[in-house]
C-alpha cells in the first residue's frame, strides 16, 4: 500500500534539494548517544546534512570531540556540539526533542543479538535514566541491540521515573525494511526506490517477519521464493557480521536506516501528515507487550499502530514463532530493570 512509502527515505534520496524542504519554525535538536561508533559517525553525518536538524548533540564515552570538530566544518545549518564521558551525559541531552541511541557493543561472528544483552542492557538503561531526568518528552529511537529487550528496558526505566509514554520509545527496525526492499526489488526486477515491504515482529532472527504478501507494488512469489526471501531477510545482519569477520556488524546501512527513521519522525513532528514507518513499540491488544508494526507518526511521536493487516497462513505461522521468542526477550528486559534499577 502507498501508506508505507517512506518520507524519510525520499528525504535521504533528495538530500541535495535540502534547502527547500523544511517549513517549520520549531527548532529540532537531535542527540546521538554513541556518536563515535561505527553507526554513530555516519549517522551523525547524515543528520548533519539534513535541513530538519537545527542542533546536533553528539555524546559518547570516547572520541566525540574529534567527531564533533570534524562535522562542525560542514556547511549545513545544524549546530554541532560534542560531549564526552559520563559527567557530560546530562548536558548532552539538554533540550533534545529526538534522541537516537546506537551506543553499545556490536556482534562478532557466531554471536546472537541476545549475546549482547549483558553489556548493552546497562548502557541503554543508564542513557534512558538520563533521558527521563533531562528530556523526558523526547522521542527515543533505540538502535542498540538486542532491540527486542532494550526497548522494554528503556520503557521500564521511564515508568520508574513516571514519564513513560508508548508514543515516545521506539525500537528502530528500519534496517530490516531497507534490506527487504532491496532483496525483493533485486529478485523481481522492481524499482527499489518504489518498493515497500512491511516487516513486523521484532529485530532478531526468527522475530523478524517480512509481510511479503503486502509488498507494494503487488508481486507474486512462489512458496520457494517466499521461504528463501524470508530467511535471507531474517539473517541479513549475520551476512554482514560474517563478511566483516570480527570487525563488527552493519554500520553504514544502519546509519542510512537510522537516518531514514529519524527524518520521518522529524517530518511528522514538523506537522507532515501520513508519515508511516515500521518500528518496535509497546503494543496493546497483541499477543506480546511489544511488537513491531507499521506506525503512523504525528506531532507527538507514535500516533497509532496500523497493525499487521491481512496476512497469509505462512505469515501467521512466522508470527507465532516470533511471539514465543519475543516474549522471552521482553521478559528478560523487564526483569533486568526490576532487579538492577
Ligand atoms: P561500535 O562499537 O562501533 O560503536 C558503539 C559506540 O558506543 C562506541 O563509540 C562506544 O564508545 C559507545 N559507547 C559504549 N558505551 C557507551 C555508553 N555508556 N554511552 C555512550 N556511548 C557508549 O558499535 P556499532 O557498530 O556502532 O553498533 C552499535 C549498536 O547498534 C550495537 O549494539 C549493535 O548491535 C547495534 N545495531 C543495531 C542494528 C539495528 O538494526 N537496530 C543494526 C546494526 C547494529
Contact 94, 138 (CB under 8 A): no
Task: Name the residue with the closest Cα to ligand 1, atom 2.
Answer: 105
Q: What grid cell was written down for 67?
A: 567527531
**pLDDT-derived band at 13, boundaries 50, 70, 90:** low
3-state secondary structure of 125: helix
> What is the spatial distance between Cα 200 and Cα 242, in angstroms, rounded to a whole number?
25
Q: What grid cell was written down for 214?
A: 503486502
The sign of the CA dihedral 14, 17, 19, 25 is negative
ipTM of the complex: 0.99
**pLDDT-derived band at 5, boundaries 50, 70, 90:** very low
For residue 229, what are the CA distances in angstroms to 138, 181, 234, 266? 36, 11, 8, 32
Q: What integer is the mean pLDDT of 28-53?
A: 98
Task: Name the residue with the closest Cα to ligand 1, atom 18.
Answer: 123
Closest Cα partner for 198 from 208, 207, 211?
211
Q: What integer is the mean pLDDT of 278-303?
A: 96
Q: What grid cell was written down for 114?
A: 541476545
> What is the spatial distance between Cα 310 and Cα 321, in angstroms, rounded to a whole number?
18
pTM of the model: 0.95
pLDDT at 138 over 60: yes
Annotated binding residue at 38? yes
pLDDT at 21 over 80: no
Contact 322, 202 (CB under 8 A): yes
DSSP 209: E
> What is the spatial distance between Cα 113 and Cα 134, in angstroms, rounded to a whole number?
29
Atom of ligand 1 nearest to the CA of 172: 41
Give tens-digit pLDDT for 85-126: 999 999 999 999 999 999 999 999 999 999 999 999 999 999
pLDDT at 76 over 70: yes
Distance 103 CA to ligand 1 centre (A): 4
Q: What pLDDT does residue 148 have?
A: 98
Between 13 and 24, whose confidence is greater?
13
Distance 303 CA to ligand 1 centre (A): 28
The residue whose CB lies within 8 Å of the most ligand 1 atoms, and thus the one to mutate among 61, 62, 104, 172, is: 104
Q: What pLDDT does residue 20 have?
A: 38
Amino acid at each position: 500500500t502507498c501508506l508505507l512509502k517512506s518520507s524519510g527515505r525520499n528525504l535521504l534520496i533528495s538530500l541535495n534539494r535540502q534547502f527547500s524542504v523544511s517549513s517549520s519554525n520549531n527548532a529540532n535538536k537531535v542527540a546521538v548517544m554513541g556518536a563515535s561508533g561505527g553507526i554513530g559517525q555516519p549517522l551523525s553525518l547524515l543528520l548533519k546534512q539534513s535541513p530538519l536538524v537545527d542542533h546536533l548533540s553528539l555524546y559518547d564515552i570516547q572520541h566525540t570531540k574529534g567527531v564533533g570538530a570534524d562535522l562542525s566544518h560542514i556547511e549545513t545549518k545544524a549546530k554541532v556540539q560534542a560531549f564526552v564521558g559520563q559527567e557530560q551525559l546530562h548536558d548532552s541531552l539538554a533540550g533534545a526533542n529526538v534522541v537516537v541511541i546506537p551506543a553499545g557493543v556490536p556482534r562478532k561472528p557466531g554471536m546472537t543479538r541476545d549475546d549482547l544483552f549483558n553489556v548493552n542492557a546497562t548502557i541503554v538503561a543508564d542513557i534512558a535514566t538520563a533521558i527521563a531526568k533531562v528530556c523526558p518528552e523526547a522521542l527515543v529511537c533505540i538502535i542498540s541491540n538486542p532491540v527486542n529487550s532494550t526497548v522494554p528496558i528503556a520503557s521500564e526505566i521511564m515508568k520508574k521515573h513516571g514519564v513513560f509514554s508508548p508514543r515516545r520509545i521506539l525500537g528502530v527496525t528500519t534496517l530490516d525494511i531497507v534490506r527487504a526492499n532491496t532483496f525483493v526489488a533485486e529478485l523481481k526486477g522492481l524499482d527499489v526506490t518504489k518498493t515497500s515491504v512491511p516487516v513486523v515482529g521484532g529485530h532478531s532472527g526468527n522475530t523478524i517477519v517480512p509481510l511479503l504478501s503486502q509488498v507494494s507494488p503487488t508481486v507474486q512469489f512462489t512458496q520457494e521464493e517466499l521461504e528463501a526471501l524470508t530467511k535471507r531477510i531474517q539473517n541479513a545482519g549475520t551476512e554482514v557480521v560474517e563478511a566483516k569477520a570480527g570487525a563488527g556488524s552493519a554500520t553504514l546501512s544502519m546509519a542510512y536506516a537510522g537516518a531514514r527513521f529519524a527524518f520521518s519522525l522529524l517530518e511528522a513532528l514538523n506537522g507532515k501528515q501520513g508519515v508511516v514507518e515500521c518500528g518496535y513499540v509497546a503494543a496493546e491488544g497483541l499477543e506480546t507487550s511489544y511488537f513491531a508494526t507499521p506506525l503512523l507518526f504525528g506531532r507527538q511521536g507514535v500516533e497509532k499502530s496500523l497493525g499487521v493487516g491481512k496476512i497469509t497462513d505462512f505469515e501467521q505461522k512466522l508470527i507465532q514463532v516470533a511471539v514465543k521468542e519475543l516474549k522471552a526477550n521482553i521478559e528478560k528486559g523487564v526483569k533486568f530493570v526490576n532487579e538492577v534499577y
